[in-house]
Amino acid sequence: MKSPIAGIAAFLAVASVAPVAANATAANRTYDIRTRIVEQAPSVGEYDGLLQLRVSADGIVSGYYRPDDNPRFVPVTGGVSGGRFWIDIGTFATRPLHFSGTFSAGQIDAQANGFIVDDGRLTGLNLIGKPEPN
């Protein structure tokens, strides 16, 4: 029997792309955030990874999601303002996972609604993240 989380793994594998170098400016803040993606309804399993984000002075979020079980980089775009934020993990070609929630000092608590898991159920997902120690 497939885990409902397997659908997330398949999505992230398809959405993966090679990283592109970017020039950082002094106004950008960078974060390495350990994440867990879990279903909002009781379920078995979770999907762990690392968000590597840059947040510009004007609130533009960019970077990559790196699944723990997949060596590829998945593009992330979004925005943050006043502690509220949204991110898309993946590209429009693969229908990105869209999360919205709170972001403070590198800690994330966000939700994505309307995700269909392997057994055909419509569910929501929680994204929980804490900064990695440097």
Q: Would you list the domain boundaries of the chain? A: 6-17+27-131
What is residue 7's DSSP assignment?
H
pTM of the model: 0.72
One digit per residue, the tens of pLDDT, for the chain of length 134 reads: 444 454 554 444 444 433 333 444 457 899 999 999 888 776 777 889 999 999 999 999 999 999 999 888 999 999 999 889 999 998 877 778 889 999 888 889 998 877 666 666 667 788 888 887 75
**CATH code for the domain defined by 6-17+27-131:** 2.40.128
d(CA 120, CA 67): 23
Long-range contacts of 24-32 (CB under 8 A, 24+ apart): 24/54, 25/56, 27/56, 27/57, 28/54, 28/55, 28/56, 28/57, 29/54, 29/55, 30/54, 30/55, 31/55, 31/106, 31/131, 32/131, 32/132, 32/134
Q: Using alpha carbons only, how large is the chain's radius of gyration in Å? A: 14
Could you tell me how far CA 70 lies from the centroid of its own chain?
A: 14
Based on the number of CB atoms within 10 Å of its own CB, is 133 exposed (0-12), middle (13-18) or buried (19 or more)?
Answer: exposed
- Paired tokens of 104: 């403070």
- pLDDT at residue 115, as a whole number: 67
